[in-house]
Structure formats: C-alpha cells, structure tokens
Amino acid sequence: MTDLYKAYGDAAERMLHFVETRSTDQASGVFEVPVAHYLDEARWQKEMDLIFRRLPLMLALTIELPKVNDYKAMDVMGQPVLITRGKDGKARAFLNVCKHRAMHLAKEGKGNCSRFACQYHGWTYANDGQLIGIAEASTFGDVDRRTLAMTELPAEEVAGMIFVILTPGLPIDVRAFLGGMLDDLAALKLETWYYHKARTMEGANWKVSFDGYLEGYHFQAAHTQTVATRSPSNRASYEAFGPHIRLGFPQNGIGRLKDLPREEWGRQENDGYDFIRILFPNFSFFLAPEMCQYAQLFPGPTPDRNLTVMNYIYPTAPKDEEELRKLDEMSDFFFQVVLDEDYALGLKVQNGLESGATDRLTFGRNEPGNQYFHKWVEHYLSGCEGPPPVLRA
C-alpha cells in the first residue's frame, strides 16, 4: 500500500500543478480516427470477435454471489451467460444453455440454487455444469452424460471481481491482464461492499460512449451544473497499465493539499481529487466515499448502439427503509446525470457521424486517454502485431 499511496500522491501533485498552471496531461500530437471506425459493420464485427469475445470481461462482483450456490444469469451481447458459485466456493461461468435442445436453463437475474432444471424438457444440471438428470431417461436412449455437460467459459475471480471470456477453451490469466492495475483494484476491498442495484441505458456506438469516460475536456460544456461544480474542466492526469488507465481528476478544492504533509497527499482520494479506473475494453469505475458507480459497456446488436449497465454499490448495507430510500435516490441521481448529459449527447454524436459531415474525428493533445484507447483497439484488431501502444512517447 505504501507504493500505491506514493503513486496516488505523485498523481495528486501533477493534478495540483495542472490546476495552478491551467494545463493538463498531453499526448505528443493530435490524433485522427476515421469516422468509418464508428460506423462500419465489418469492423464492428471484428471488434466483437477479437476484443469482446477474447478478452476477460468483468461480469460480476464477488458481492453479487457471496454464498455457495448463488448465481447470476445474464445476456452479454446476445450470449446467454450463467455465473455460479459451487459448493467448493469457486466461481464458474457457463453458456446458459441445455445440451438437449439448446433451451436457456436459468432465467436472467440472480438467485441461489444448486441445480438448474430446463423448463422445456426437464433436464437437470448441477451448478458445476454437470448433467445430473434426464427426464424419462429409460425412454430417451443411451447417451454419455459427460459429453452433455454445460459449456464452460474461462472465468477467474480476482480482487472481488469475476472476469469471464466469452469464447470457450481460451486461456485466462486475469492477473497478467490487469498488470499494475491489480494492486489498485485489490486495495479497494470490493468484496466488503454492499451491492445495491443496476440499471441499464442505451447509447451510441460503444466507442462513442466510451470516449466520454476517458476525458474531462467536456466537463464545463456538458456538465455545467453537475460534474463541473466538483471538478475543473480539461485538467486530468493519466497513468497506463497495459491497455488500462487510472484517470485522475482534480477537485476545485485541490489546493487544500498544500496544508498537508506531502506524504499524506496519496491518502486524499475524494478529498481533493478523484480517480476513474478504466479497464479495457468496457469498464469504468468511479469510487466516492459514500458510494461507487461502475459502468459495464457492451456493444449492442448493431454498430450504432451499445447497452450500458450502471451498477451501484455502497460501503455498508442500509439499516432500514429510510436508508434504502436514500441509496435509491443517490443511485438514480448519478444514473440520470450520465443518461441526460452523456448518453443523450452521445446519440447526437452518432447522428453527426452518420450525417457525412466529416470523415474523421480529431482528438487533441489534451485527450491522451482517448488516443491511447483507440490505439489499443487497433492493436487488438491487428492480432497484436508489433509493440503494444504506450501512453507517452
């Protein structure tokens, strides 16, 4: 933790400097992205195949499945996914499909059970994926039940988070994938929080929406009465860990750090500055003392749309109905800000892209996170040929 707090303190020092000098972290030059990268269906399919179906995606928190036999069933970009916690305590993931006639097994949502019975013909599976019951087996015929187990997906539980790869049989190493971001996430102790609820919103092309998470250049124009009252526009620090980013935003009152010993600056998150933790390709995590909002952004059924799941967790569970009501109000406020001020704007951007008004978008030197993100998209689409992108030359 000492090294982590030192890194936070160094970022805080940079953010204070940016506020005092009216500057920000910068890339070496401007960067152009063809508009076709947001519109082309063949490219979008390639992004699905080489990024979203091959990289570990954070699909659930440990606190969503805290007990043996807990499960979470969800649709992930058209893939029916079932995450379970077996009697051995291990989190596993499967395609939520019966091997008899391909019916879904568990209804979308969460619950607790040790087995899943198909509602079509009654075949039954244990939550470790094994086929344990065939209805009217004596009339069905001889089959090898071992070959009819649920299709398992690569899954790994790390730092209070459950990551899944949507393609069966691929190797998974989340610790290697997270790299230097792992210590950062582990320090948050997410396994001790209370999971409150999730809400979904529809947005533009997944990269249009994700671009908005990666910079604070838009705060003053787009969030005049909300975010801009907390954080100045166009002041940000960026630290990269492979394709992932720890993005720092100073608060308007960051000057208070000068009243503290320098070695304490790294312990002042949310009291002078904030971090947004970005995991490639689709996860954004904002932690505040009283709550946390994290976004899981998934490409939609067509290139012009995405579905974003906004999740809300809190340090402790509500003690009564009044506290529950307050958590709902806080969650809904943060949700509405993103929906009304970010995603509504993104849909207009999508329309602008489709209008033919320009054939490229230009990301400024003051938008290094966006540049870095698009370079990593290209890196994965190329099959990871050549050296990986770097944040700063």
Q: Report the C-alpha gap between 96 and 93 in whole angstroms.
A: 9
Tokens of 13: 């020092």
Q: What is the pLDDT of residue 2?
A: 78
Are 75 and 143 within one domain? yes
Q: Whose structure tokens read 């400024």?
A: 364
Q: Report the C-alpha gap between 353 and 348 in whole angstroms.
A: 9
Q: Report the C-alpha gap between 62 and 298 in whole angstroms.
A: 20
Q: What is the pLDDT of residue 222?
A: 87
Are 32 and 181 within one domain? yes
Are 154 and 267 within one domain? no
Q: Report the C-alpha gap between 228 and 111 in whole angstroms.
A: 40
Backbone angles phi, psi at 297, to 5 degrees: -110, 120
Tell me the CA distances in angstroms from 302 to 299, 305, 381, one per residue in order. 8, 6, 18
Under 8 Å CB-to-CB from 364, ≥6 apart: which residues? 30, 217
Q: Is residue 358 part of a domain?
A: yes
pLDDT digits (tens, 9 = 90+) for 305-342: 999 999 999 999 999 999 999 999 999 999 999 999 99
Domain boundary (156, 171, 186) is at 171
Are 231 and 368 within one domain? yes
Q: What is the pLDDT of residue 201?
A: 96
Q: Is residue 218 part of a domain?
A: yes
Q: Report the C-alpha gap between 393 and 391 in whole angstroms.
A: 7
Q: Whose structure tokens read 């008004």?
A: 357
Are 262 and 377 within one domain? yes
Whichever domain contains 212, its CATH number is: 3.90.380.10
Are 309 and 373 within one domain? yes
Q: Report the C-alpha gap between 312 and 295 in whole angstroms.
A: 9
Q: What is the pLDDT of residue 289?
A: 77
| Sheet containing strand 57-61, strands side by side | 57-61, 161-164, 155-158
Cβ density class 305-324: b for 16+ within 10 Å, e for less: bbbbbbbbbbeeeeeeeeee
Q: Which residue ranges in the chain fall short of pLDDT 70?
A: 1, 393
Sign of the C-alpha dihedral computed for residues 206, 218, 270 and 247 taken in this order = positive
Residue 189 CB coordination number (10 Å): 11
Full residue range of the structural domain in which residue 64 is found:
57-171
Q: What is the pLDDT of residue 393?
A: 66
Bridge partners (DSSP) listed for residue 277: 246, 285
Q: Is residue 392 part of a domain?
A: no
Whichever domain contains 141, its CATH number is: 2.102.10.10
Are 189 and 281 within one domain? yes
Are 325 and 192 within one domain? yes
Q: What is the per-residue DSSP string for 147-185?
A: GGS--EE-EEEETTEEEE-SSTT----HHHHHTTHHHHH
| Total domains, the chain | 2
Are 80 and 225 within one domain? no
Q: What is the pLDDT of residue 175?
A: 97
Q: What is the per-residue DSSP string for 265-282?
A: GGG-BTTTEEEEEEETTT
Helices 206-213 and 368-381, packing angle to 10 deg: 140
Q: Is residue 147 part of a domain?
A: yes
Q: Is residue 389 part of a domain?
A: no
What 3-state class would DSSP assign to 133?
strand
Q: What is the pLDDT of residue 227?
A: 87
Are 150 and 225 within one domain? no
Domain boundary (143, 171, 199) is at 171
Are 229 and 309 within one domain? yes
Are 182 and 324 within one domain? yes
Q: What is the per-residue DSSP string for 216-277?
A: STTHHHH-TTTGGGTS-TT--EEEEETTEEEEEEE-TTGGGGGGS-GGGGGG-BTTTEEEEE
Q: What is the pLDDT of residue 1?
A: 58
Q: Is residue 361 part of a domain?
A: yes
- Contact criterion met (CB below 8 Å) for 19 and 249: no
